[in-house]
Structure 1
C-alpha cells in the first residue's frame, strides 16, 4: 500500500507542478503583453527644427547641453556645465536629436533591455528616458532628461 500511495502522491505532485508551470507561463505572457500594452506610446512627431536642453548621464555623454536641431540634424550644441563644455571643446561628440533618443528607446524595448522607460510631456515629446540594457552590467545605464523643448520655424 505504501508504494501505491507514494506513486499516487508522486503523480498528484507532478500534475500540480505541471499545472503551476503552465499557469505561471500563461501569467508571465499575459503580464508581459499587458506591460507592453500599458507602456505609454508617444504620438509625438519630431519637427524638422527645434531646440531643447539635454541633461545626459551616460558613460559617453555627460552633462547639460543646449541643442539646436535644423533640418532634422543637430546644428549647434552649447555646453551648459563644466562636463558638457569640456566635451564640446574636446573630442567630437554626438549629441542626439530627440528622434534619435526615441529610436534608442525603441531599440532597447525590442531587445528586451532590463529598463527602457520614458515619461512624456502633454504634447507627446519625451521628457525623461531611462535605459539599462542589463541590470547586472556596470556602465550601460543611461538617463536622458529633456527640458526647454521649443519647436522653431524651419
Structure 2
C-alpha cells in the first residue's frame, strides 16, 4: 500500500467515524436494547466458548465486513463479505479479532487514557459497538467496530 493510499484511507476512515458518531449523537434519548451507550467500566459479559458473529471494522489495518467463527477464544474462520474484505481475511488472518479481544483492546484504551474509548452494549451485556481514538490529534489511529448477528454455537 502506498503512502498516498494509506493517508487517503485514514482520512476516509476519520470522515466515516465522524459521520457515524454525529449521526448516533443526534438520535433520540432512549437507547435501544441493542445499542445502550456507555463509556464506563469493563463489561461483565462472559465470552462463550463457541460463537459466531459479524464484524464491521474500520481501522487502519482491518476494514470491511467479516463473518467470524470463534472457538475456545480463537478465531477459527473469518470470511469477508466482499472482495476486499475476503482478501484481507486471507492475507491478514491474525487481524480479525474475537469479541473478547475487542473488549481487551477497549479496556487497554481506557487504562492508557485514550481520547475516545466507548462502547454500546446489548441487553445481555455483550458489546455491539466499540469506538476508539487513541489521540484525537493524530490521524490513522481511530477504530470503529460494529458487532452484529451474534450467535452462540454448540461447542
TM-score interval, normalised by the smaller of the two chains: 0.7 to 0.9
How many residue pairs are counted as aligned between the two chains?
118
2:141: which partner in 1? 140
1:4-32 deviations in Å (ceiling 9; x for gaps): xxxxxxxxxxxxxxxxxxxxxxxxxxxxx
Between the aligned partners of 2:130 and 2:39, the Cα distance in structure 1 is 16
In the alignment, is residue 153 of structure 1 matched against residue 154 of structure 2?
yes
Q: After superposition, where does 1:2-21 map in structure 2 within 5 Å?
A: none
1:65: which partner in 2? 66
Between the aligned partners of 2:105 and 2:143, the Cα distance in structure 1 is 11
Shift of 1:72: 1.4
Q: Would the aligned equivalents of 2:43 and 2:103 in 1 still touch at CA under 8 Å?
A: no
More helix by share: 1
Q: Structure 1: any 5+ residue segments left out of the alignment?
A: 1-36
Normalization by structure 1: what TM-score?
0.72
Q: Structure 2: any 5+ residue segments left out of the alignment?
A: 1-37
Shift of 1:66: 0.2
1:65-97 deviations in Å (ceiling 9; x for gaps): 000001211000100023211212334442100
1:76: which partner in 2? 77
* Closer/same/farther in 2, CA of residues 40 and 106 from structure 1, 3 Å limit: closer
Q: Bigger relative contact order, structure 1 or 2, given CA contacts below 8 A and separation 6+?
A: 2
1:111: which partner in 2? 112
In the alignment, is residue 54 of structure 1 matched against residue 44 of structure 2?
no
Q: Name which one, 1 or 2, has greater alpha-carbon Rg.
A: 1
Q: Would the aligned equivalents of 1:87 and 1:93 in 2 still touch at CA under 8 Å?
A: no
Q: Would the aligned equivalents of 2:39 and 2:117 in 1 still touch at CA under 8 Å?
A: no
In the alignment, is residue 98 of structure 1 matched against residue 99 of structure 2?
yes
Q: Helix, strand or coil: the match of 2:70? A: strand
* Closer/same/farther in 2, CA of residues 92 and 148 from structure 1, 3 Å limit: closer
